[in-house]
Amino acid sequence: MSGNRISGLGSHQLSRRRVLELGLGAGAALVGSALLPRGAWASGLPSTPIRFQPFTRELPTIANGQLTVLKSQPAFATGCTFPVTAKPSFYAITMKRAQAEIIPGVKTEIWGYDGLYPGPVIVSRMGTPDVIRFANELDVETSIHQHGGHNPSDSDGLPMRDQLIFPGQSKDYCYPNQPSTGPDGRPDPNDNPSFLWYHDHATDITGPNVYRGLAGVYPVVDELESGLIAAGKLPEVGSAFDLPLVLQDRLFNADGSLFYSPFEHDGFLGDVFVVNGKAQPFHVVQRRKYRLRILNGSNARIYMLRLSSGARFLQIGADRWLFPHPVERDRILLGMAEVADVIVDFGAQQPGDVVYLENILVQDSGRGPGGDLNAPDVRVPGTPLVKFVVAGGQPAGDLSISRTEPLRPITPISPGEIVATRTFEFNRSQGAWQVNGQFYDEDRADAQVKLGTAERWILKNGGGGWWHPIHIHLENHLVQRFNGRPPPVYNSFKKDTTLLGPGDEAEVFIRFRDHAGRFVAHCHNVEHEDDRMMIRWDTVAP
């Protein structure tokens, strides 16, 4: 290892970097106020001592103005280059400290994009590039990853020395927003994303940086989705019927400050459930269909989502992409960084009815959940996350989407395209996390793949009771087999993150099309990521 990256960390050892984060070294600054109260780690994690009444704060949405939509700015000088015919949109975001009311009536210091938690919503359109200048007014370095994006290496937000934004500095990120090249060499609109998000990805400190608030959503619209909206199949982006839901869990001190312990190598869990920056909010809905884009933005918590009414989800997409057709589901398992894009119909409810989006999964450790995840009702009623209150009356007009609705076609990857097979095993060693028996080293390329080819990657969980959601940058992947069998239909389309339980193995196909350079793949339990469970892989010219 080089620089401040230290391999072979024992379970009770601290790297120099971790000492500096905690303010335990001479002249070091704390990651945040009261992040680690004295003695907290010695006696185990505490519980949040603040008591509050849930469902007293409204769910922040774009329509009610509590989720701020980022406004474009006049063009500024930048090093970004795009096709001559493309006219970019320009934006600026400043990362800084701010106060937020997460628990009702309590002020908490957060780190936010533009001082907001979650960060401002960036609404984008395929065919229009985005240039975003991120300025860092924090006292730690940052790196911004557009999660699910198909971007050049220099704008991927890599955890590498030359990609970091240091305090007092800024960097322009260049997002082409162009269809990727298909197997025939032409643009492939079937690969266009629908719902990206962005978050910090700084070396060794992604966990505390994201935990403090550095995350936001990034919906994208293209011609196909615009057509579905115009036909009344889907709601207008940002309308009252299009609700992004960012699920997170947080732990608080008595003074309202956030508690975070980097000693939780298994993964850090909170005991207060937060949606769009509010602890257990409510939302008034009409008797009609809504689109919910549910993102698991937690550090280490996995969710099993269910509607308390017993109604079913009509899932129309996963991670960043629409399905070829909807899939009905009564519950959804959602690993860290995964997205479930669903339609929920409140039309059968009566005025005054209450429906909860609830988490019915018990998880007491960052290792992951235990027990039988297929047991039908052992965890019901679970923990309510959002309270939906049904308003009176039957509104005129509704979404006309049905179970048979054709959505986004899929461009398959055939076995005949595969030119190489690689195996990546995710395991624990020496108190930290490895891939194929090695700790992440940004100076070492663990794989080199040729642009214009496709490969088979075998993703293996080395076991030991830990869960690992595996996120691959740059390209989506298609799961071919899971534990030797075809995957469930809802996991057989485009994914950027695949959740592996203990001992699980996924066989995925990936097509590498554009952008030569360095990229990474890693566990999205961000404490595992910070503790070395990551590889660097490079795309090279054929």
* pLDDT at residue 9, as a whole number: 28
Q: Coil, strand, or helix at residue 353?
A: coil
Rounded to an integer, what distance in angstroms lies between the CA atom of residue 469 and that of residue 467?
Answer: 7
| Contact between residue 91 and residue 120 where contact means Cβ atoms under 8 Å apart | no
pLDDT for 260-289, tens place per residue?
A: 998 899 999 999 999 999 999 999 999 999
* pLDDT at residue 24, as a whole number: 31
Rounded to an integer, what distance in angstroms lies between the CA atom of residue 104 and that of residue 488?
Answer: 40
- The answer to whether the bond into 118 is cis (omega within 30° of 0) is yes
For tokens 């009176």, the residue is 392
* Residues in Cβ contact with 434 at an 8 Å cutoff, skipping those fewer than 6 apart: 426, 427, 428, 532, 533
The residue type found at 245 is: L
How much helix, strand and coil, in percent to the nearest 5, is found in the chain?
5, 40, 55
**H helices of 180-254, where?**
206-211, 223-230
Rounded to an integer, what distance in angstroms lies between the CA atom of residue 477 and that of residue 470?
Answer: 11
Domain extent listing, the chain: 267-390, 415-540
Q: Coil, strand, or helix at residue 348?
A: coil
* pLDDT at residue 176, as a whole number: 97
* Residues in Cβ contact with 537 at an 8 Å cutoff, skipping those fewer than 6 apart: 445, 446, 447, 448, 449, 518, 519, 520, 521
Instruction: Find the Cα–Cα–Cα–Cα dihedral 515, 521, 527, 531, rounded to 10°.
Output: -100
* pLDDT at residue 379, as a whole number: 63
Low-confidence ranges of the chain (pLDDT < 50): 1-43
How is 394-428 classified by DSSP, letter by letter? Answer: --S------TT----------GGGEEEEEEEEEEE
Select from 451, 60, 3, 36 the least CA-distant residue to 263: 36
Select from 268, 214, 336 the least CA-distant residue to 527: 268
Q: What CATH class is the domain 415-540? A: mainly beta
* pLDDT at residue 130, as a whole number: 98
Select from 515, 524, 518, 517 the least CA-distant residue to 496: 524
Residue 196 to residues 124, 300, 357, 486, Cα–Cα distance (Å):
10, 20, 22, 27
CB atoms within 10 A of CB 8: 13
* pLDDT at residue 10, as a whole number: 31
Domains 267-390 and 415-540 are alike in CATH topology: yes
CATH architecture of 267-390: Sandwich (2.60)
| Contact between residue 54 and residue 48 where contact means Cβ atoms under 8 Å apart | no
Select from 236, 250, 244, 10 the least CA-distant residue to 119: 244
* pLDDT at residue 4, as a whole number: 28
* pLDDT at residue 181, as a whole number: 82
Select from 67, 191, 78, 83 the least CA-distant residue to 122: 67
| Contact between residue 526 and residue 207 where contact means Cβ atoms under 8 Å apart | yes
For tokens 């011609």, the residue is 223
Q: Coil, strand, or helix at residue 154?
A: helix
Burial per residue of 211-243, b for 16 or more beta-carbon CB atoms within 10 angstroms, e otherwise: bbbbbbbbbbbbebbeebbeeebbbebbebbbb
pLDDT for 30-57, tens place per residue?
A: 233 334 333 333 335 689 999 999 999 9
Rounded to an integer, what distance in angstroms lies between the CA atom of residue 458 and that of residue 422?
Answer: 6
**Pairing outcome for strands 313-318 and 321-329:** antiparallel
pTM for the whole structure: 0.93
